[in-house]
Amino acid sequence: MTPMTMMMMRCPVGELRLVASATALVGVYLPVQVGPAPSEVHAGESPLLARVASQLAEYFAGERHSFDVPLAPRGTAFQQLVWDALGAIPYGALRSYGDLARVLGRPSASRAIGAANGKNPISIIVPCHRVIAASGELAGYAGGLAAKRWLIDHEARHEARHEARHEARHETRPATRAELDGASHDGC
């Protein structure tokens, strides 16, 4: 078995357990999630875990919308397929289990997709919190519904701020009197 290192990180949704092999992140576990057995990990730090913690801190500060760390979640081929699809859900967006089933070409597999979603070992970075019930209600989350609600609200707040800043930068403004007076007229 590949040795894994685990580092703890405090954040607004509780204390996260970050778990990595020598080359990739294998888990981000919220306080109520079951992670690897203690015999499978040793406490410590690594450059990779420090990078993950830094990027998560930026995410919680509203400064990061995506992550660029190597991932190696452990799961079945179907789970891997679902987790890859989760990674395509944009920051601040929500999708239903049925939406994911259709994207994956398995429109009747909503329940299986929900089960795979619940087994996602890399919370937040692989954004399983962005998946909701078809009714628009929150549905299961391995990290607890309160954490899911916090993450969704956090992204909505910061996405709205990001859009407002983007619009302000690209907003057209009326011409000033000086600009109008200095403009050439084409006989109009």
Please report whether residue 170 resides in a domain.
Answer: no
Please report whether residue 100 resides in a domain.
Answer: yes
CATH, residue 58: 1.10.10.10
Q: What is the pLDDT of residue 163?
A: 54
Give me the catalytic one of 109, 124, 128, 131: 128
pLDDT digits (tens, 9 = 90+) for 18-76: 999 999 999 999 999 988 888 899 998 899 999 999 999 999 999 999 999 999 999 99
pLDDT digits (tens, 9 = 90+) for 125-176: 999 999 999 888 888 888 889 999 999 999 999 876 655 554 545 455 455 5
Residue 128 annotated to the active site: yes
The residues, any chain, with a CB within 8 Å of residue 133's CB and separated by 6 or more, are: 96, 97, 139
Please report whether residue 140 resides in a domain.
Answer: yes
The boundaries of the domain holding residue 70 are 4-158
What is the domain count for the chain?
A: 1
Q: How far is the C-alpha of 19 from the C-alpha of 37, rounded, in Å?
A: 11
Q: What is the pLDDT of residue 1?
A: 58
Please report whether residue 82 resides in a domain.
Answer: yes
Please report whether residue 106 resides in a domain.
Answer: yes
Please report whether residue 113 resides in a domain.
Answer: yes
Q: How far is the C-alpha of 166 from the C-alpha of 80, rounded, in Å?
A: 34
Please report whether residue 172 resides in a domain.
Answer: no
Please report whether residue 54 resides in a domain.
Answer: yes
pLDDT band at 179 (very low <50, low <70, confident <90, very high): very low
Q: What is the pLDDT of residue 169?
A: 52
Model pTM above 0.85: no
